[in-house]
Amino acid sequence: MLPLALALPASFALTPLVVVTQTLVELVVMVVMVALVPRWIRPRISTANNV
C-alpha cells in the first residue's frame, strides 16, 4: 500500500504518513493482543474443565 500512497500527487502528501501510522498501530495492537489474549482465555478454559 505504501508504494501506491507514495505515487499519489502532492495534494495527498499526508497519505504516506497515514499508511505508516496505521501499520505501526496495527503492529502494536497485535503484539499487545498476543500477550493478553492467552491470559484471558486460560482462566476460562481451566474453569470450564473443572465444572
pLDDT recorded at residue 50: 66
Long-range contacts of 39-45 (CB under 8 A, 24+ apart): none
Q: How far apart are CA 40 and CA 44, in angstroms?
A: 7
pLDDT in tens, 9-46: 999 999 999 999 999 999 999 999 999 999 888 877 76
pLDDT recorded at residue 51: 58
Is residue 1 predicted with pLDDT exceeding 90? Answer: no
pTM: 0.70
